[in-house]
Amino acid sequence: MSLHVVILAAGQGKRMRSALPKVLHRIAGRPLLAHVIASARTLRPDRIYVVHGHGGAEVKAAFEGAPVEWVEQAQQLGTGHALMQALPRVPRSATVLVLNGDAPLVRPHMLRKLARVAGKGIGIATSDLSDPAGYGRVVRNAKGKVERVVEHRDATPEELKIREWYAGFLAGNASRLAGWLAKIANRNAQKEYYLTDVIGIAAASGTPVTAVKASDPHEVAGVNSREELAILERAFQNAQARKLLADGVALADLWRVDVRGDLSCGRDVAIDVNCVFEGSVRLGDRVRIGPNCVLKNVSIAADTEVLAFSLLEEAQVGANCRIGPYARLRPGARLARDVHIGNFVEVKASHIGVGSKANHLAYVGDAEVGSGVNIGAGTITCNYDGATKHRTIIEDGCFIGSDATLVAPVRIARGSYIGAGSTISKDTPPGQLTVARARQVSLPRWQPPRKK
């Protein structure tokens, strides 16, 4: 069976009250449209067409290189008109699956069902809501067969009592869809060509209309407002949390975790509240993540603990490390096993060797730190001269006293001790104490200034 997917993404989304095209608003860190395209691709269709209109240039730029074909709807005259723009590109014998670009939670299982039932006539996605205000209602006859869909604005008081609503997904043969579309008119409250009218025309001609009903309304819901966007974000994240729990991850609260990418966890991983995972994150066995942490494109080996309010980005952390609280690992940070990075310590583009420690109030940037090194409070590597980044080398077994300033490029030789408060701008000899600070002077006759 030849399958072609048409994604309707031309709407402005006025209720979003945003200059950003609606389909570029984000769920789990990705545009709404990206979720729909990803679900469509799991079906391996022959083609995916995206119908764009409002903000079309911005939408296309956001998906540059995506495996889709772009179709312009220059005038937004309704969903039926939008499909008309794409159908001329589709082979007449193909099955067409029509999706909404603002429905990010749709699952491949639902789409496969729609594509299957389309061989018998038309498949439509529906669901039940206690209050489906604003949605088109699915009207059935006395035998329970779908007769038509009526838009909310055009529904009678009796029709408004119907709880089954049409989600906007439809599947059918391309040739038959084109024939039915040619018969629709814009005699309705919004003066638009509704795709929903095709359903009534098809049913009236004797074509079976099969409703594939989603048990969870969120799965087929679109986004029309900021509130709906927030609701679907929580629904998406709650589903992610339940998957983590099913995989054995200990979550402190399944409503207070955000996965905005791909999170992979080993055995007995524990995650506290309000943590955010972005990009690709890998957590080894028995890793513990404290509350209010953000991890982006990070791999953490077994038995490491990340304490509260820590931010880790583009970093690799070895086994049995202790990070935080209030620590920051910036891109290029690589920690070997048994490393301690304490509160208010920042590490950037640096490798920290086995068993080394920077327990508080330090900046380590563009550095190679050996094993067994102790970096005292207030220590910084001065790696930038205003034009170029330079490297600091701290060899194994060094002790860096508090408030030391290491001016790169510089090498602190194996076993060196650096006196507290020193500014080191030259390489040090191994195994010796190096002190570089001004002589302390007291002035006995000095008087403090007084206010006039």
Span 170-195, average pLDDT: 89
Is residue 445 scored above 80 in pLDDT? yes
Question: What pLDDT score was predicted for residue 430?
Answer: 97
Query: What are 52's strand-pairing partners?
Result: 9, 72
pLDDT value of residue 186: 84
Q: Helix %, strand %, coil % for the chain, to 5?
A: 20, 35, 45
What letter would DSSP give residue 389?
A: B
**Does residue 349 surpass a pLDDT of 80?**
yes
> Mean pLDDT over residues 48-65, rounded?
94
* Catalytic position from the list 54, 81, 360, 390: 360
Closest CA to 217 of 111, 126, 104, 99: 126
Q: Which pLDDT band holds residue 431 (cuts at 50, 70, 90)?
A: very high
User: Residue 360 catalytic?
Assistant: yes
- pLDDT of residue 189 exceeding 80, the answer is no
Q: Residue 88's CB: how many other CB atoms inside 10 A?
A: 9
Mean pLDDT computed over 432-446? 91
Domains with residue ranges and CATH for the chain: 3-219 (3.90.550.10), 226-434 (2.160.10.10)
State how far the Cα of 309 lies from the Cα of 323, in Å rounded to an integer.
Answer: 10
Is the pLDDT assigned to residue 356 strictly greater than 90?
Answer: yes
Q: Note the pLDDT of residue 131.
A: 86
Residue 120 pLDDT > 90, yes or no? Answer: no
Summary count for the chain: helices (H), strands (E): 7, 35
Helix axis angle for 79-86 and 196-204, nearest 10°, is 80
Looking at residue 18, what is its pLDDT? Answer: 92
Mean of pLDDT values over 83-87: 95
Mean pLDDT along residues 336-360: 98
pLDDT band at 1 (very low <50, low <70, confident <90, very high): confident
pLDDT tens readout for residues 280-335: 999 999 999 999 999 999 999 999 999 999 999 999 999 999 999 999 999 999 99
